[in-house]
Structure 1
């Protein structure tokens, strides 16, 4: 049945939903690339919470979604920005999420890496920032998960220059029990992180970042680059010490970065692999056979959806991610912690539905159509 979706001119246009999904089944483990999906959290829609109250999480649905990702061979990057870390999920909620996901990973044999930050603080001295990082690092290690050292808003505010980043990160890496992932999150994902690594000049910031890695190569499993700049990621990737991986966080150029070139490739730690999970895993399995073109044929068509979800202001991409999880049947509602389901317009949400439907991402296209029809009616668009 035809749906009437919002058009660019402010009117409505006809769209014919897909009737059959893309068939993708869980398969063999991924071998040629390490692939982590940054997973969203499912809010509890029945909780009576105020805007300033701690997030209420539906733990059963949240963990079920992680089992879905693990079943397709993907790892889970937990308590990252996709999980609304710092945008509705506070440190207490993130700590509980880390404990529960790590336990679930052990139970099902899944891989999990967890974000370590400083969101106990809003501001602080360098000593307080180090202590906040240490508290979170200890919790992640005690949970049995790999640590991802996230960018710190407090450090961005407190650091006087590159030397402060070198001191804080060097201190943490010396303490880490196992190699960690260093995460460089650009200001398009979090404007407060402008000038991270001690300079707004990305070339200068890159030198500081690489200096941290070079000083502790045995404690750095890899680096995650989220700058939405493929050329800069490739240049940085080629300068990493041997054995240190590059995990792309570029939701605009991921197919080409994962496929790589004659001088190397990127692994992946991506928010877009939340809605693309099964399709992304299938594409990497094709790449595992050496079929780069087949990998690109599967993944290249998904870039339009990713660019749409991550369009400026990029930090609100989570709204589209959760919409697609609801339409795909992974949760029973379109509600987000912090009320962020309202962060994108109806035309934006409708276009996300159309692009995802065209890719066959919905296991039950009829269910997705019915839910989209209900959402349109809520906004006063009668069919």
Structure 2
């Protein structure tokens, strides 16, 4: 049996047994009980100048193959979102090309796809409310022309320009009026982007939620749902309970998604549940699919058995500073063989320490998130060796129950 060598913050090495790959099966038809999107990342060319401030050079074959991997498990893809490094290396030209290419691939296989619509192609830091509206419409029309559904992402430009909730109401009213199909709204918390403080007109969550709900109530035929990414389960449930029947709650809570997706029913029936639009699911597509298949079969216990252990892994990937979670998503993609190199545009692969990555390896191994365990072990040990760590002399390690605690 192969062992995994792990490294802690003190430089101490331990070893754990390498778990076998979980025996998950791809679904034979569409997932039924929940709508789930994985917010996919982008893969750069390994030989490109992937340094801070340089334009993104994307390995399109690997990037699009990853989307097909997600679709093959019955999940939808949420593309050109923050997981794809928007505002952290993915420039406007690359974003447009990503949307165009992903939409064509989705249409070729009948895959579900939504894409981020923002104002970030505008280089000026501060613009007027009218210019925010025009910028949103420009990206919205591009997404719709490509054949993709839209997620109206939270805009840094709007957060800077708005002076009250009325400004948010006006912007969303005019942009939604221009939409050709229902969209998903996006509420991204400051853990993910500190520049979005006070979004929807207030730092008070209840007050901001009131503005969001007013936007939805005014446009029942233009809003299919809202993605909440506040890492606050109680706040999400409070908004979910007030949504009209026409709108879904897509959880973006990478800390509490297991319970939120399961729902309020004590029997696991999912009354008052959230659907999902998660960066975590980009790293956990097989696990997420198997768990939702269990819900489809009415087996809540199996759902929790499969997905429950992954939440500790997700919390590590999304640990503070949370906006560096993309590094963990790309790292797991590399471990699982979906990209040739552990590299990211903008040099972001250097944003997490070796001990942080080691904990990801440990939790992925314990939660069934290593799709090809032998490959993952070989790649991880090679990375340790490259960084001067002798992987041949670890000590004994704790049991799986302690790992997940």
8 Å CA contact 2:54, 2:89 repeated in 1: no
Query: Where does 1:271-286 land on structure 2 (aligned, <5 Å)?
Result: 271-286=279-294
1:167 to 170, 175, 179: 170
**Mapped pair 1:62 → 2:63:** yes
C-alpha displacement of 1:49: 5.2
- Correspondence for 1:96: 97
2:375 is matched with which residue? 367
TM-aligned CA deviation for residue 8 of structure 1: 4.2
**1:323 alignment partner in structure 2:** 331
> In structure 2, what is the equivalent of residue 341 of structure 1?
349
**Unaligned residue ranges in structure 2 (runs of 5+):** 266-270, 392-405
- 8 Å contact 1:4–1:12 — kept in the other structure? yes
| Alpha-carbon shift at residue 366 of structure 1 (Å) | 1.2
**Distance (whole Å) between structure 1 residues aligned to residue 226 and residue 51 of structure 2:** 37
Residue 7 of structure 1 is matched in structure 2 by 8
Which residue of the partner structure matches residue 21 of structure 1?
Answer: 21
* Bigger Cα displacement from structure 2, 164-173 vs 25-34: 25-34
Work out whether 1:85 is the aligned partner of 2:86. Answer: yes
SS at match of 2:362: helix
For residues 189 and 371 of structure 2, what CA distance do their matches in structure 1 show?
33
Structure 1 residue 127, shift from structure 2 partner: 1.1
Question: CA-to-partner distance for each residue in 1:150-207, whole Å, 9 max, x for gaps?
Answer: 0000100110110000000000111111000000000000010011011111111111
1:47 shift after superposition: 1.6
Contact 2:287/2:368 (8 A) holds in 1: no
Contact persistence 1:185–1:193 (CA under 8 A): yes
CA deviation digits over 1:21-71, x for unaligned, max 9? 112221131011111000010011112355322111100000000000001
Aligned partner of 1:52 in structure 2 is 53
| C-alpha contact (below 8 Å) 1:22/1:359 kept by paired residues | no
The answer to whether the 8 Å contact 2:50/2:347 transfers is: no
Task: Give the corresponding residue for 1:240.
Answer: 243
Q: CA deviation at 1:91?
A: 1.7
* TM alignment of 1:78-157, pairs within 5 A: 78-121=79-122, 122-157=125-160
Q: Is the contact between residue 50 and residue 346 of structure 2 (CA under 8 Å) also seen in structure 1? A: no
Q: Aligned residue for 2:358?
A: 350
SS at match of 1:217: coil
Deviation at 1:12, TM superposition (A): 2.1
Q: Distance in 2 between matches of 1:252 and 1:293?
A: 20
User: Could you say what secondary structure the match of 1:242 adopts?
Assistant: coil
Quote the Cα distance in structure 2 between the aligned partners of 1:59 and 1:235: 40
**Deviation string, structure 1 residues 67-92 (Cα, Å, up to 9, x no partner):** 00001100000100111111110221
- 3-state SS of paired residue (1:105): helix
CA distance in 1, matches of 2:258, 2:385: 36
Q: TM-score, structure 1 length as denominator?
A: 0.97
1:254 aligns with 2:223: no
Q: Pick one of 182, 187, 190 that aligns with 1:184.
A: 187
Report if the CA contact (8 A) 2:75-2:285 is conserved. yes
Residues 251 and 306 in structure 1, CA contact (< 8 A), matched pair in contact too: yes
User: Which residue matches 1:294?
Assistant: 302
Alignment match, 2:396: none
1:14 deviates by 2.4
Measured in 1, the distance between the counterparts of 2:226 and 2:220 equals 11
CA contact (8 A) 1:181 1:223 kept: yes
* Inter-partner Cα distance in structure 2 for 1:235 and 1:49: 42
User: How many residues end up aligned between the 2 structures?
Assistant: 382
Alignment root-mean-square deviation, CA: 1.2
Partner of 2:228: 225
What is the distance in 2 between the residues matched to 1:51 and 1:361? 30
Secondary structure of 2:77 counterpart: strand
Contact 2:328/2:360 (8 A) holds in 1: yes
**CA contact 2:39–2:77 (8 Å) conserved in 1:** yes
Contact 2:336–2:376 (8 Å) recurs in 1: yes
Report how far residue 363 of structure 1 moved.
2.7
- Aligned residues of 1:181 and 1:221 also touching (Cα < 8 A): yes
Question: Whole-Å Cα distance in 1 between the matches of residues 302 and 21 of structure 2?
Answer: 19
Q: Give per-residue Cα distances to partners, 1:314-351, cap 9 Å, x unaligned.
A: 11001011011001001110000000000000000011
TM-score normalized by structure 2?
Answer: 0.92
Deviation at 1:264, TM superposition (A): 1.1
Q: Which residue of 1 aligns with 2:268?
A: none
Q: CA deviation at 1:128?
A: 1.1
